[in-house]
Structure 1
Amino acid sequence: MKKILSLALAALLVLSVFAGCGDKKGTDSGSSSGASSKQGADVRIAGVKSPAGISLAKLMKDSGDKKTANQYTATLYGDAATAAEKLSAGEVDIAVLPTDVAAALYAQNSGSVQLLAANVLGALTVVDTTGEIKNLYGLMGQTVYAAGQGTTSEYLLNYVLDHSGLTVGTDVRIEYVDSYDQLVDMVADGRAPLAVMPEPYLSSALAKNGSAKAAVDLGGEWDRVSDGKELLLGAAVARTDFVKENGQAVKDFLQDFQNSVEFAAGNTEETAALAQKYDIMKAEIAERAIPNLGIAYRDGESMKASVSSLLQILFEANAQSVGGSLPGDDFYYAKA
Structure 2
Amino acid sequence: MSISRRRFLSLTGAGLAASSLPSLLSANQGSQLTIWGPPIGPSITLAHVAANGTSRSHIDHLDFKVWRTPDQLRSGIISGDMQLSGIPSYVGANLYNKGIPVQLMNILTWGLLYIVSTDGSIKSIADIAGKTITMPFKNDMPDLVFKYITEKAGMVNGKDFTLNYASTPLEVVQMMLSGRADICILPEPAATAAMLKGHSKGLQIHRSISIQEAWGEATGGSPRIPQAGLLVNRQLVDTSPDLLRAIQQDCVTSSAWAINNPAEAGVLAQDYIGIKAKITEKSMPFINLDATPAQTAKKELESFFAKLAELSPAIIGGKLPDNDFYLDL
Give 1:176's aligned residue.
165
1:147 alignment counterpart: 136
The structure 1 residue matched to 2:235, chosen from 228, 237, 241, is 241
- 2:161 and 2:78 map into 1 onto residues whose CA distance is 40
Cα contact 1:86–1:92 (8 A) shared by 2: yes
Deviations 1:288-326 (CA, angstroms, capped at 9, x unpaired): 222222222222544111112222222232222223333
Please list the CA deviations of residues 226-282 of structure 1 after superposition, one character each: whole Å capped at 9, or x if unmatched. Answer: 232530111011111211232222211211121112222222111111112213422
**Aligned to 2:133, what secondary structure does the other structure show?**
strand
Hey, what does 1:324 align to over in structure 2?
318
Change in Cα spacing, 1:306 to 1:222, as seen in structure 2 (3 Å) is same
Q: Distance in 2 between matches of 1:236 and 1:284?
A: 27
> 2:229 and 2:216 mapped to 1: Cα distance?
18
Match for residue 58 of structure 2?
Answer: 70
Structure 1: stretches of 5+ with no match in the other structure: 21-25, 35-40
Partner of 1:267: 261
1:129 alignment partner in structure 2: 118
**Secondary structure at the counterpart of residue 148 of structure 2:** helix
Aligned to 2:18: 17
Q: How far apart in 1 are the matches of 2:254 and 2:71?
A: 23
CA contact (8 A) 1:268 1:290 kept: yes
| Alignment pair present for 1:198 and 2:199 | no
Encode CA deviations 1:26-55: one digit per residue, 9 max, x unaligned. Answer: 9999xxx99xxxxxx755533222223222
Q: Is the 8 A contact 2:102 2:233 kept in 1?
A: yes
Any conservation in 2 of the 1:129–1:213 contact (CA below 8 Å)? yes
For 2:24 and 2:44, how far apart are their aligned partners in 1? Answer: 13
Which of the numbers 298, 305, 313 marks the counterpart of 2:307? 313
- Greater CA drift, 192-201 or 315-324: 315-324
Q: Name which of 241, 248, 256 aligns with 1:254.
A: 248
**TM-score normalised according to structure 2 size:** 0.87
Give the distance between the partners of 2:172 and 2:127, measured in 1 at CA: 20
Which deviates more from structure 2 when the two are superposed, residues 140-149 or residues 6-15?
6-15
Shift of 1:200: 1.8
> Aligned residue for 1:91?
81
Instruction: Determine the C-alpha separation between the residues in 2 that align with 1:298 and 1:223.
Output: 18
Query: In structure 2, how many angstroms separate the alpha carbons of the residues matched to 1:95 and 1:15?
Result: 12
- Which residue of the partner structure matches residue 221 of structure 1? 214
Q: 1:5 to 1:99 in 2, by over 3 A?
A: farther
Give the 5 Å matches for 1:102-141: 102-109=92-99, 112-141=101-130
Q: Shift in Å at residue 174 of structure 1? A: 1.0
Q: Match of 1:236, SS? A: strand
1:49 pairs with 2:32: no
Q: Contact (CA 8 Å) 1:83, 1:97: kept in 2 or not?
A: no
Structure 2: gaps (5+ residues): none
Question: After superposition, what is the alpha-carbon deviation per residue over 1:173-216, rounded to whole angstroms, capped at 9, x for unaligned?
Answer: 11112322221122112221211111222122212333211111
Q: Is the 8 A contact 1:46 1:86 kept in 2?
A: no
Contact 2:123 2:208 in 1 (8 A): yes
| AA aligned opposite 1:268 | P
For normalisation by structure 1, the TM-score amounts to 0.85
- Select which of 231, 235, 255 maps to 2:225: 231
Q: How far apart are residue 153 of structure 1 and its match?
A: 1.5
Q: Distance in 1 between matches of 2:242 and 2:316?
A: 30
Change (3 A) 1:108 1:88: same
Report percent identity of matched pairs: 23
